[in-house]
Structure 1
Amino acid sequence: MSSEHNDNNVVRAAKLDTATLSDALDKHGIDGQCYRIAPRDDAFRLAGRAYTLKYGPASHPPGTVGDYIDDVPPGSVLVLDNQGRDDATVWGDILTEIAHRRGIAGTVIDGVCRDVALCRELGYPVYARGHWMRTGKDRVQVEATNVPVNIGKARVAPGDLLRGDADGVVVIPQEHEEAVLATAEAIEAAENGIREAARSGMRLDEARAQFRYHQLQTAEQ
């Protein structure tokens, strides 16, 4: 898959909201909705391809929590699988500052972050289960980089497409992104048509029937 093709699909995803993409994922039978992963600020938006890290409990002596940041390509979304752990963080202000400066698209964590004031001040998108101040140092460590991980019950492989907005985050598997994006664009076009028809006085049920809205959302057999 060429980088030009990849970049175009990131642009396409960025124009769609997560609710529309969620409906498209459902139609294709893909569980790509990252459960309970929420933005630390409702204004945050992200779109990009996954650079994944998998965390586990610290060994003795402990390994590192996060010396990977300089190797992450600009435009990537950092995807940190801390197995939903909420008593130790894997992201804070130093990583936020460097990621923002390097042009990384955002960070998604199955776990918690800290130092949310800085990510809000810089407008650097961080999505997580929550935020709390206690460090992950000597508690967790990086087990693997750029391997498939789990984020809010959704599988994320390196290079998968992620989109985040005020409603949360969805992941679109790379091998299905053309079909999912095309379906999402069709759903968005139908929704826009329904809105216009309703504004012109048409009944909602008639407008939905005219634009075949329910068929667009129905899962394929």
Structure 2
Amino acid sequence: MDDSLVKRLHAVGVCGLSDAMDKHGIDGQCLGIMPFGPDMKIAGPAFTIRMVPVGLSGGVVGDYIDDVEPGQVVVIDNNGRRDATVWGDILTTVASHRGIGGTVIDGVCRDISTSLGVGYPIFARANTMRTGKDRVTADAYNVTVQLAGVRIEPGDWLVGDSDGVIAIPRARLEEVLTTAEEITAVEDQIIAAVRGGARLDEARRKLKYHQLQTAPSKAG
């Protein structure tokens, strides 16, 4: 894991990255999936899991965890289900101990107190007590999944903070990050100008702020 890359991603944050993705026409905002603590952050490549209803086949929810590499982010597609958890205290404890980068769930989890206690970041739609055992099962690993309608390939980067979580295609990561850094730098200049007595509309127009966040096809 490139620590300098992670630091750059956290420095611009999810909002800056989201604006940059809009600029490049990339739909990667996983809407409705939020952290369980205001200081929780993630940034790392995806280890994907696709969950399905258990049916008659049986199966397990979490025995994949030993195959996840330190720094990777566990991405669980449970089709947005809120009636069956796919993550709890045992997985949190093992993941935290192994240095896994965090967990993102299109669905729900439980045992949030353990996550908060060890500082392990979890992003999900909600939490509940109802186990996923005998209700859902892990069907496939490191396959294409989706989070809130966003397509996620294994190795795509998940970045999250207090404003939510986004997925960046790994082939576009540096491009998106560079644009986000440019947008953030201009925002800093606008704030400095306003504090120096400038009008906000003038500062935005002078620094071409709107164009920075608009895809070329929509910029006129």
- SS in structure 1 at match of 2:94: helix
Give deviations 1:92-148, integer Å, cap 9, x for gaps: 000000100110111000000000011011111000000000100110001110011
Corresponding residue number in structure 2 for 1:79: 75
Deviation at 1:210, TM superposition (A): 2.1
Residue 35 (str. 1) matches residue 59 (str. 2): no
- In 1, distance between residues paired with 2:107 and 2:160? 16
- In 2, distance between residues paired with 1:103 and 1:12? 20
Contact 1:10 1:161 in 2 (8 A): no
More moved, 52-61 vs 121-130: 52-61
Corresponding residue number in structure 1 for 2:49: 53
- In 1, distance between residues paired with 2:191 and 2:152? 34
Which stretches of structure 1, 4 residues or more, deviate above 6 A after TM superposition? none
Contiguous gaps of at least 5 residues in structure 2: none
TM superposition score normalised by structure 2: 0.95
Deviation at 1:10, TM superposition (A): 3.2
Percent of aligned positions that are identical: 55
Structure richer in strand, relative to its length: 1
Provide the aligned length of Structure 1 versus Structure 2. 217
Residue 177 (str. 1) matches residue 173 (str. 2): yes
TM superposition score normalised by structure 1: 0.95
Deviation at 1:161, TM superposition (A): 1.1
Contiguous gaps of at least 5 residues in structure 1: none
Residue 205 (str. 1) matches residue 201 (str. 2): yes
- In 2, distance between residues paired with 1:15 and 1:154? 23
Deviation at 1:8, TM superposition (A): 4.7
- In 1, distance between residues paired with 2:199 and 2:193? 8
Corresponding residue number in structure 2 for 1:188: 184
Corresponding residue number in structure 1 for 2:88: 92
Corresponding residue number in structure 2 for 1:160: 156
- Letter in structure 1 aligned against 2:186: A
- In 2, distance between residues paired with 1:120 and 1:134? 19
